[in-house]
Structure 1
Amino acid sequence: MDEEGGGRHPAWVYDAGDEPDPRYSLANERTFLAWVRTSLGVLAGAVALESLQVPEQDGLRLVLVVALLLFGGLTATLSWIRWARVERAMRTRAPLPPFNLGILVTAALVVLSVLLAVTLAL
């Protein structure tokens, strides 16, 4: 374990800079896991819509389910990227990256909520 980064992956994160205070790294990991839970909730919502066959129109339901599945996967992927960027910034003592993930998730949830409300009203 004398190699830089301790052989941990991704190397582009762990090979940069110095080891930060473990409390900050653990807080970053907890935030990442909170985003993963959000992603799992969205995926569960997609499964529920399909299982309960809500809305009744197959085409609308398919659009909603696929949109939720893609959104859940994208949220999980972007949360991992955010975790890595924040961890690297802490290690290199650089400014933290902007919080674009929150804006994206909020906007997507508003759009999906409106779409679901419209389809349920039909």
Structure 2
Amino acid sequence: MSANRRFPASVYTQGSEPDARFTLANERTFLAWIRTALALIAGGVALELLGLELHSGLRLAASLVLVITGVLAPGLAWLNWTRTERALRMSQPLPTSLLGSLLAAAVTIAGALVMLAILLR
């Protein structure tokens, strides 16, 4: 398949084909972020729907933090995948990912909200 027929063309029309191991590692990282997003969404839904006897406002807030992060993560994962693949193809340094920081902040906030909800019940 020629480079101009591969999706996204904005990535595959630039530079040269990198070592397949690096491209596949980049794809595995993207898929790991997708799994993480699914887990965040599932965790947020479960936290709210299980009806735990926690402060309802704090429980809802924690659920929303998890679900919103789970909804944003795939878009950021795609952006990171394209930036990394383009850097690989252009033999440039790999870009920094914001996903780790986003995930750390979201899980910390959600955990703090749940802990506060437990203490206030």
Same fold? TM cut 0.5: yes
Taking the TM superposition and a 5 Å limit, the aligned residue runs for 1:38-117 are 38-117=36-115
Give aligned-pair identity as a percent. Answer: 47
> What pairs up with 1:8-47 in 2 under 5 angstroms?
8-47=6-45
Cα deviation code 1:60-108 (max 9, x no counterpart): 3322222211111112211111111100100111111013321221122
Q: Contact 2:38/2:70 (CA < 8 Å) preserved in 1?
A: yes
Give the whole-Å Cα distance in 2 for the aligned partners of 1:37 and 1:79. Answer: 11
| Compared CA separation, residues 66 and 55, structure 1 to 2 (3 A) | farther
TM-score (norm 2): 0.88
Query: Structure 2: how far apart are the matches of 1:17 and 1:73?
Result: 31
What value does the CA root-mean-square deviation take over the aligned residues?
1.6
Identify if the C-alpha distance between structure 1 residues 55 and 89 changes in structure 2 by more than 3 Å, giving closer, same or farther.
farther
Whether the 8 Å CA contact 1:49–1:55 is kept in 2: the answer is no
Query: Per the alignment, do residues 78 and 18 of structure 1 end up closer, same or farther by CA in structure 2, a change over 3 Å counting?
Result: same
Gaps of 5+ in 2: none
Q: Structure 1-normalised TM-score?
A: 0.88
Q: Work out whether residues 83 and 95 of structure 2, in 8 Å CA contact, stay in contact via their aligned partners in 1.
A: yes
Aligned residue for 2:5? Answer: 7
Residues 55 and 85 (structure 1 numbering): CA distance in 2 closer, same or farther, change over 3 Å? farther
Return the offset for 1:40. 0.9
After the TM superposition, list the runs of 4 or more consecutive aligned residues in structure 1 that deviate by more than 4 angstroms: none
